[in-house]
Amino acid sequence: MPIRVQNDLPAKKILEEENIFIMDERRALSQDIRPLRIAILNLMPLKEDTEVMLMRSLSNTPLQIDITFLTTKSYVGKNTAKSHLDNFYLTFDDVKNKKFDGLIITGAPVEMMEFEEVAYWDELVQIFEWSKTHVTSTLHLCWGAQAGLYYHYGVNKRLLDKKMFGIFYHHVLNRREPLVRGFDDIFLMPHSRHTGIDEEAVRNNDRLKILAVSDEAGIALVMSTDGRHVFMLGHPEYDRVTLDMEYKRDRDKGLPIDLPVNYYKEDNTSIRPDLMWRAHGNTLYTNWLNYYVYQMTPYILEENDNNDK
């Protein structure tokens, strides 16, 4: 899929080296195609790494996508250069009067805090509310999924006894749902989190549908019955070495951390891990774009827009 990004975005070069079709602004303007407009609210500290992983995951359909990266105005992290944010990111104030076909809300390293204690929670609440009228479908990832379930459906999170960390097996439920079309009965997906969700509250909510569970990691994929909200508790977009870097970072800091489950061969950290989850991860993103964004969005986003000023 041609992903349309700014010409000088650093992630563009990395993806082009992987033979992923990235279209710059000049070429996109020469095509008479209405691209899907996808906003990515990137709450991760290492924003450039997340950009690459998400654009790679979105690159597997023939649809043209126009990516808009968003960051929070109420909190500015220290792990991404200000020049990068200034050049390639907008804030909610910049887009609040626009409509998007899809929105992705990433995870964030704030899961040990109560939602209301997060520095940008009030801003995120504004975005959640705005998404109800200005976005066709929203994909929430990891902490973003926990926050979305809490805001939209009142599902609380809970602290785990120890970090859910590694590659876990998942069973597909509700196979008729297009979001899991093409999935095998069992698939692998990375998790990296200290908190989970109130699974009983999810099961008892008739507006939510569970699509994948893990015997070890619990409920992993949930969606609203209308397809407007998708909640992924894991990280299907992770690179081969993402868990490796997280493990060695925490180990070197002296933090309590176990080896990631089902990740290193013979639990040997010097052996390059196998990449075992990307096919299903790519299928998930492709299905979301096709069935819940592309086939549901109006061709002209503004045609039913009575909320913009």
Marked catalytic residue, from 140, 170, 229, 235:
235
Q: And the tokens for 56?
A: 């790679």
Four-point Cα dihedral 4, 57, 51, 133, nearest 10:
70
Among the listed residues 289, 282, 309, 236, the one whose alpha carbon sits nearest the alpha carbon of residue 37: 289
Marked catalytic residue, from 51, 177, 237, 280:
237
Establish whether 142 is a catalytic residue: yes
256 and 198 Cβ atoms separated by less than 8 Å: no
Marked catalytic residue, from 48, 142, 152, 170:
142
Establish whether 303 is a catalytic residue: no
Token match 């250069």: residue? 81
Residues with a known catalytic role: 142, 235, 237
